[in-house]
Structure 1
Amino acid sequence: MDMCMMAGSDTEFKATLATSTGNRKIELVLCPIMQNIAVILFAVNYFTWTSAVFDSQRQSVHKKLRYLLEPPVYAEVTARRGANVTLPCLLQKKPLVYKVKWTKLEPLRRGVENIVLITNGQAQKGYGLLGPRASLRRAHPLDASVRISNLELEDDGSYRCELINGIEDESVVLTLRVEGLVFPYQSANGRYKFNHQEAKEACYGQDAALATHKQLFRAWTEGLDWCNAGWLNDGTVHYPILHPRAQCGGEKLPAGIRSYGPKDKTRDYFDAFCFTSITAGYVFFIGGKLNFTEAIEVCREKGAELARVGQLYSAWHFRGLDRCDGGWLYDGSVRFPITSPRKRCGDLREPGVRSFGFPNKTLRLHGAYCYR
């Protein structure tokens, strides 16, 4: 006998339940007595199903590698520009037939892999811009580590070592961090004058590259505090704040990386955050009251050229260049580097590279920072 009839009621209750995937809807037409029983049964089955799904996902995330070792010792490798670096990738054992493919993971080119090198254990072949500088270490028969020589700023990023045997492909991901520093850069024409491509070219012209978000975040943790928003390499716009204040988004907002998010790369204009590292040459100062043209000439007489902004920052950060005197730079700006703040150097409280902006190039007021 129907349980609803036993209850003496022909009242129906309609309930619609949806699964968490696929938006599938199940409509239940229930009498009051059956309502609670059905909901309980549905709930038990639903949570059993979701638990099975999540367990399966956990197993796939933590899948034990059969051939490759997890990144040995460290998953991040740090080196300076110009150095040679090894990204480790080791096999536990070899399949009968296999290939190992190294790729640089490019967040700016979603879905596109930049292949660096492929090997079958015997021969190897390099690809793309990194290929000519990449080679296998071959320390032993199970070593698939890749060496990159003469490290460049753009080499910073994530790399994948992938073993391919047609049946059980495996991969590990490592991070290569180029040691360096981030500095804000503004056009000689004033604040917020660069679109994304112009910002990229401006950094390149100062011996630097547009910074990544990770590089800006690290710079913030190391003390970078700057009100003006600037482009990053992925087309987003940010600025780092350590000391919240009214003119920098408000005093009530917490310290951190303030974000404008992705902006139109051709129509929106901001400053730039540039990233540089140690240089092969060195920066030196020539005193005197020089205009811009005379500064170019005195550097040339010493077998050098006016230093780029990135080169001055590098000399300050990596070589401890400390000078109270303002000097001309290649871009027409006048700056000076301070590692030991003191009263007679503007009474500045923190180390850094200070700027006088872009003065009239005909004024004979400054020395010159040369790079050789």
Structure 2
Amino acid sequence: MVNFKGIGEIIKILNMNYSKKNYAIDVSGRGKATPPPLQHLLDPINKIVHSQRCATVTLPCILKAPLPKNYKVRWSKVEPAEYMEVVILITNGAHHKTYGPLGSRVRLRHSHRYDASLTISNVALEDEGRYRCQLINGLEDESLTLVLELDGVVFPYQTNYGRYKFNYFEAKQACQRQDSRLATYGQLYKAWTEGLDWCNAGWVMEGTVHYPIINSREPCGGRLLLPGVRSYGAKNKSKDRFDAFCFSSAVKGRVYFIRGHLNFKEAIQACQKDRATIAKVGQLYAAWKFSKLDHCDGGWLEDGSVRYPIITPRTGCGGLPDPGVRSFGFPSKLRKKYGVYCFSVK
């Protein structure tokens, strides 16, 4: 792991040929970089690779003949928000060595002599992001950047104490406890295009605060404002408090419902008796999104909330026109009224 103290340092590490090849690097990922022509790397047609959590994915990096002598290929993950670049794997064509936690789940595809593609097994939420395949050949280094995007679902999250209780770091922890992570702004924007309408502002991964509006209305900025992802901009990560927008992807397991009139403690025991655990909010959303879980009964979840997933809206199941995960909020844990959603690992 290489740490950097400022934005200037990350520009240096991303632009390895800055003294000879003067081109712009955009570490935010929002703009377009102007890379130098690749001499020994084949420029892939698609630089965005899609996958899901728990899957196996390959990031393409193909070398072009003739290969330079004594070359090395280095794979790394670029983390602009933390001003760091994490080395994952280095190879000289004959041998390779892996580094860090991600290194235990990666290998070279190596389907032929010129194949330096990186295969990641059991993809995790934190694997999403920007990767760099760099050919090191003395002073004539060159590299290409690929983006790994996970298919998933964004959901708003708040505590049982009400809205606007999280600073940025608490929001990150809250999402992680619910088998998810903070959504990126891009993921929140995509969720808005798919119909997410939520009036409370929440943190996203970049440290900014937003809320997505489909139907303009008075409590949400007024009727005169156009629909869109409203922004509060960057906020103080330690002092300012909002809700969180979490992101979850597919899960390697099954979420199912146990019927009953259970209090919270009895709900936990019912799942344990069935050799399962009480489901987390992110697991329920993932089951709704990827397994099309559709159940009209409210059930306890691990955080003490009561929710139910609807694929086909119908009378008696929330009365709303759109599919989604409905919520009863956080009722008293002593209340004997609900069933429970359990999670069983495959």
Does the Cα contact within 8 Å between 1:309 and 1:331 map onto a contact in 2? yes
2:268 equivalent in structure 1: 296
Does the Cα contact within 8 Å between 1:316 and 1:322 map onto a contact in 2? yes
Alignment of 1:274-293 (within 5 A): 274-293=246-265
Show structure 1 runs of 4+ deviating over 4 A. Answer: none
Q: 1:289 to 1:261 in 2, by over 3 A?
A: same
Separation (CA, whole Å) in 2 of partners of 1:195 and 1:62: 38
Cα RMSD after superposing both structures: 1.5
Separation (CA, whole Å) in 1 of partners of 2:218 and 2:101: 46
Distance apart, 1:62 and its partner CA: 5.7
Higher relative contact order (CA 8 A, sep 6+): 2
Separation (CA, whole Å) in 1 of partners of 2:140 and 2:222: 54
1:212 is matched with which residue: 166, 180, 184?
184
Unmatched tracts of structure 1, length 5 or more: 1-55
Unmatched tracts of structure 2, length 5 or more: 1-21, 25-32
1:227 equivalent in structure 2: 199
Distance apart, 1:369 and its partner CA: 0.9
Is 1:236 matched with 2:208? yes
Deviations 1:134-183 (A, max 9, x none): 11111111111111111000101111111111232111111101111111
1:70 equivalent in structure 2: 43
1:185 equivalent in structure 2: 157
Distance apart, 1:107 and its partner CA: 2.3
2:76 equivalent in structure 1: 103
Aligned pair count reads: 314
Separation (CA, whole Å) in 1 of partners of 2:54 and 2:23: 42
Does the Cα contact within 8 Å between 1:230 and 1:272 map onto a contact in 2? yes
Distance apart, 1:344 and its partner CA: 2.0
Distance apart, 1:57 and its partner CA: 6.3
Does the Cα contact within 8 Å between 1:200 and 1:210 map onto a contact in 2? yes
Is 1:144 matched with 2:119? no
Separation (CA, whole Å) in 1 of partners of 2:86 and 2:46: 23
1:269 equivalent in structure 2: 241
2:57 is matched with which residue: 85, 91, 100?
85
Matched AA of 1:109: E
Distance apart, 1:254 and its partner CA: 2.3
- Where 1:264 maps in the other structure, the secondary structure is coil
Matched AA of 1:61: T
1:360 equivalent in structure 2: 332
Is 1:162 matched with 2:112? no
Is 1:334 matched with 2:313? no
Deviations 1:250-285 (A, max 9, x none): 222222221111111111111111111111111111
Alignment of 1:316-335 (within 5 A): 316-335=288-307
The structure whose Rg is larger is 1
2:11 equivalent in structure 1: none
Q: 1:327 to 1:167 in 2, by over 3 A?
A: same
Matched AA of 1:104: K
Distance apart, 1:347 and its partner CA: 1.7
Matched AA of 2:87: I
- Where 1:130 maps in the other structure, the secondary structure is helix
Deviations 1:271-314 (A, max 9, x none): 11111111111111111211111111111111112110011111
2:100 equivalent in structure 1: 128
Does the Cα contact within 8 Å between 1:107 and 1:234 map onto a contact in 2? no
Separation (CA, whole Å) in 1 of partners of 2:88 and 2:145: 14
Q: 1:77 to 1:57 in 2, by over 3 A?
A: closer
Matched AA of 1:105: V
TM-score under structure 1 normalisation? 0.82
Q: 1:115 to 1:57 in 2, by over 3 A?
A: closer
